[in-house]
Amino acid sequence: MTNASDTHRLTVGTVVRDLPLIEVATGLRIAVLNSLGDTELVETAATLLAARLARYDYDTLVTPEAKSIPLAHALSVRTGRPYVVLRKTWKPYMGEALSATTHSITTGHEQTLFLDAKDRPLVAASSVVLLDDVVSTGSTLTAMDAVMTRASATVVARAAICTEGDGGRDVIALAHLPLFKA
């Protein structure tokens, strides 16, 4: 059982969640948002983000694997725009995939994002919105930007359910999560 000091309350629209605080580095805890399986939160966030992205002219949504995939799907349904998932492991069927490396605060190690060769036509010479569940340091967005540059895409906006800490200043977000001392 957790107490109030072990959680942080997040409100997105009418949805309220108490997020667990998890130590990710010595002396640093974060409120962990895991939207996988949380249909109510994902659907609400997609509706709110669709409204905020309505002023942007874009062709495709781009998201990293894995927690933001349900959000990308729900947003795609609302906007009528396709989405592309940047994978975290390369598979032979992906062909000559484009890639970039990032260091994730939640995993604590280096990760590579891959754009499947079959998805390149969806982003090449087009306008895209980068989408993630939480933007903290911005390293994942930086890697996503690098892949989109290599694919000749133009990033017109960055969006997330939440920003965290000092990250995400240029991100369209529905809430902000502070960092916590352990």
Whether 82 is covered by a domain: the verdict is yes
Whether 15 is covered by a domain: the verdict is no
Whether 11 is covered by a domain: the verdict is no
- Number of domains composing the chain: 1
Whether 102 is covered by a domain: the verdict is yes
Whether 134 is covered by a domain: the verdict is yes
pLDDT digits (tens, 9 = 90+) for 14-71: 999 999 999 988 999 999 999 999 999 999 999 999 999 999 999 999 999 989 999 9
Q: Which residues of 69-102 are buried (b: 16+ CB within 10 A; e: fewer)?
A: bbbbbbbbebbebebbbbbeeeeeebeebbbbeb
pTM as predicted? 0.92
pLDDT digits (tens, 9 = 90+) for 123-164: 999 999 999 999 988 889 999 999 999 999 999 999 999 999
Whether 21 is covered by a domain: the verdict is no
- Residue span of the structural domain in which 76 resides: 39-175
Whether 20 is covered by a domain: the verdict is no
φ and ψ at residue 147, rounded to 5 degrees: -65, -40
Q: Which residues pair with 35 in a beta bridge?
A: none
Whether 167 is covered by a domain: the verdict is yes
pLDDT(3) > 60:
no
CATH code: domain of residue 141: 3.40.50.2020
